[in-house]
């Protein structure tokens, strides 16, 4: 349920930062003899990037995986801030805050697992897909209805955009 307090938080958002695996994907990784060969992305999430950008809200990616598939998806969506193979996501978030001259309450973050914990404690508005195995640890502001890989990022973006209209 989206409360008035969550709407107030969402109105402040000027940057959306996202994890990838388990958020934009179903958390499955497909490997062949030469390494990772495929990830599945929802077009709903791609449209969310477009809608956020149209509203003047950039999207940034911070992921622990160093994935060519993620780099290709980000390039297709014209996402400039893409950080792959990151183990200290909070340090990258701090860099983004400085770069965009933002306060933590002006940043939204969506993640699904324990490596997102520190960032979720700092960002102004937070969410996890309903498929998150660590929701009880992360305690984000919003547990989304959609699962990772099936438009969870879009659902989060829609909440932010609706709050700002």
Count of residues in the chain: 165
As a whole number of angstroms, the distance between CA 24 and CA 13 comes to 20
Sign of CA dihedral 95, 104, 88, 15: negative
53, pLDDT greater than 90: yes
- 88 in Cβ contact with 116 (< 8 Å): no
| Fold (topology level) of 4-164 | Rossmann fold (3.40.50)
pLDDT single digits (tens) 55-101: 999 999 999 999 999 999 999 999 999 999 999 999 999 999 999 99
Question: CA torsion, points 70, 76, 82, 85, in degrees to nearest 10?
Answer: 20
158 vs 118: CA distance, rounded Å: 24
Is residue 161 over pLDDT 90?
A: yes
Q: Which residues of 7-34 are buried (b: 16+ CB within 10 A; e: fewer)?
A: eebbebbbbbbbbbbbbbbbbeeeeeee
Model confidence at 126, pLDDT cuts 50, 70, 90, reads very high
Residue 118: is its pLDDT beyond 80?
yes
Of the two residues 17 and 33, the one the predictor is more confident about is 17
Measuring CA to CA, which residue among 131, 165, 159 is closest to residue 6? 159
Is 1's pLDDT higher than 80? no
Rounded to whole angstroms, the Cα distance separating 80 from 12 reads 22
Question: Over the range 90-106, which residues count as b (16 or more CB within 10 Å of their CB) and which as e?
Answer: bebbeebbeeeebeeeb
Domain ranges of the chain: 4-164
Could you report the per-residue pLDDT of 136-157, keeping only the tens digit for each? Answer: 999 999 999 999 999 999 999 9
> Which pLDDT does position 36 carry in this prediction?
73
Q: What is the pLDDT of residues 29-52, one digit of tens each?
A: 888 888 777 899 999 999 999 999
């Amino acid at each position: 349920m989206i409360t008035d307090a969550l709407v107030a938080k969402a109105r402040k958002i000027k940057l959306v930062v996202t994890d990838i695996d388990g958020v934009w994907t179903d958390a499955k990784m497909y490997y062949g003899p030469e390494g990772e060969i495929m990830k599945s992305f929802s077009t709903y999430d791609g449209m969310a990037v477009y809608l956020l950008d149209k509203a003047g809200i950039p999207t940034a990616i911070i992921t622990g995986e160093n994935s060519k598939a993620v780099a290709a998806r980000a390039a297709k969506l014209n996402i400039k801030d893409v950080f792959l193979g990151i183990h200290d996501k909070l340090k990258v978030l701090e860099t983004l805050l400085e770069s965009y001259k933002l306060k933590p309450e002006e940043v939204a973050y969506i993640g699904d697992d324990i490596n997102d914990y520190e960032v979720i404690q700092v960002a102004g508005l937070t969410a996890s897909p309903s498929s998150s195995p660590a929701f009880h640890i992360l305690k984000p502001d919003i547990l989304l209805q959609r699962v990772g890989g099936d438009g969870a990022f879009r659902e989060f973006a829609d909440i932010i955009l609706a709050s700002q209209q």
